[in-house]
Structure 1
Amino acid sequence: MPDEQQPENQTKAALDAIQQLGQMNVPAVNESNIFCMTIVGQIEGHMVLPPQNKTTKYEHLIPTLVAAEQNKNIDGILIILNTVGGDVEAGLAIAEMIASLTKPTVTVVVGGGHSIGVPIAVSSTYSIIAESATMTIHPIRLNGLVIGVPQTFEYMEKMQERVVRFVTSHSRITESKFKELMFRTGELNRDVGTPVGGLDAVKYGLMDEVGGIGQALAKLNRLIDDGKRSLEAEGIKQ
């Protein structure tokens, strides 16, 4: 009886993970060596968003990334993004986590990778964007009570520089080009910024390639194989 219930329990655990976290379980032995993580909707930070919002909670992603990094059965991580952005510090925390992983990572932007989703999209080893997807680049915004003093604007400027510095250091786009897109007027209704399509994102050096899941998995497998060959060349057997 316990043996018959084991597959049923595993299926229930997998469904619970998808329902609660929007994530697949970290693969066990004899399963895929690639872990797939999804970042969808709005990235929720220190404040809980209304229940009708589709959100990705950063406190769920961080321990999941740690678990994937430690799991010896996982050789690479695929991150799929379709996000409108969200909390700046939470987004940067996720991006820094992805960038600091020792295992190969590939991000795929499908639909949209807007606002603070941009640093997450470029944080991986290799980044891919669907041709129909867009990435909106705009200045930092503040919600709620804003104190009209110089320190508030200095804080926003420093926060904005953190985003610019991260994106330009993890992609091929220049700081001047990124800021030009960020502060451009006339392209967004009642706003400042630029919506960048898939082809333009690659042309500007923001993303590495136009493609989808097939290209992402192929690239991730190549990165995994290259890493193993590199270790073998150094005399380290996995």
Structure 2
Amino acid sequence: MQESNDKTKETNNETPITPPEEIKNNPVVNTIQELGTTSVPVPPGESNIFCMTIIGQIEGHLILPPQNKTTKYEHLIPQLVAAEQNPRIEGILIILNTVGGDVEAGLAIAEMIASMTKPTVTVVIGGGHSIGVPIAVSSSYSIIAESATMTIHPIRMNGLFIGVPQTFEYMEKMQERVVRFVTSHSRITEEQFKQLMFKTGELNRDIGTAVAGADAVEYGLMDAVGGIGDAIKELNRRIQEAKDTSMPKGLTQ
């Protein structure tokens, strides 16, 4: 009888197997599945730079087909708020490789980045097309890879819409919002940006212009040609500059 009780104790001391339901409902597992990271925005003891990626198509109010690689704006906005509030995070690095997407969602992300008080740097790797252009220029400093491109074209609508003058006026107002944002957050002029936007013969099946890395800098859209190393170096410089500015006079770090 005593031997049987000892075996029962040994069995009870074994590591219990976690049921699949508990794994599925685990917040850490859910965060990995939804955002590709274990926590938002940075675990304690890690880098003081928060890296955010915007890839594929920017998903807005409508859910895109499952085969589309998407970035959901309702995921990015809480991360930006958390990064702004977290005292351990001193700078934000935004990696862009997007084909564009929902106009209002893209502008919302761009406005969020532009309104942050912490230093921000965007890097366009691969492409920052369509509504990705306002996001690319929304940061404190913008970098584009030499082989990357940015497609600038007018706003388009798909699906059913009412073919009346008011619809086209609405599209024109939306387009002006994009133009104003880009020109106010970069060195390109409104005239030059619209010239690139309405250029014909540049794209096969669309109106607009595909701007390569060095040309984007020459036009004044982006600040420099470079990569991740250049972006981190510039972000660290701006972080240190922000620290020096906030430090009382006469004190040195």
TM-score normalized with structure 2 length: 0.86
Distance change (3 Å), C-alpha of 1:189 and 1:37: same
Number of the residue aligned with 2:241? 226
Classify the secondary structure of the residue corresponding to 1:47.
coil
Distance change (3 Å), C-alpha of 1:180 and 1:68: same
Structure 1 letter corresponding to 2:49 = I
Of 190, 193, 196, the residue aligned with 1:178 is 193
Of 142, 162, 185, the residue aligned with 1:147 is 162
- How far apart, in 2, do the equivalents of 1:109 and 1:228 lie? 27
- How far apart, in 2, do the equivalents of 1:219 and 1:88 lie? 29
Structure 2 letter corresponding to 1:20 = E
- How far apart, in 2, do the equivalents of 1:39 and 1:236 lie? 39
Task: Report Cα offsets for 1:46-70 as digits up to 9, x if no partner.
Answer: 0000000000000000001000000
Unaligned runs of 5+ in 2: 1-14, 16-22
Query: Percent sequence identity over matched residues?
Result: 76
Give the deviation of 1:127 after TM superposition.
Answer: 0.2
Give the deviation of 1:136 after TM superposition.
Answer: 0.1
Give the deviation of 1:21 after TM superposition.
Answer: 1.6
Answering whether residue 35 of structure 2 is matched by residue 21 of structure 1, we say yes
- How far apart, in 1, do the equivalents of 2:117 and 2:227 lie? 23
Classify the secondary structure of the residue corresponding to 1:167.
helix
Number of the residue aligned with 2:9? none
Figure out how many residues of one structure are paired with residues of the other and give that number: 229
- How far apart, in 2, do the equivalents of 1:227 and 1:14 lie? 33
Distance change (3 Å), C-alpha of 1:158 and 1:229: same
Answering whether residue 114 of structure 2 is matched by residue 99 of structure 1, we say yes
- How far apart, in 2, do the equivalents of 1:236 and 1:20 lie? 45
Distance change (3 Å), C-alpha of 1:236 and 1:163: farther
- How far apart, in 2, do the equivalents of 1:154 and 1:115 lie? 20
- How far apart, in 2, do the equivalents of 1:129 and 1:226 lie? 23
- How far apart, in 2, do the equivalents of 1:23 and 1:140 lie? 33
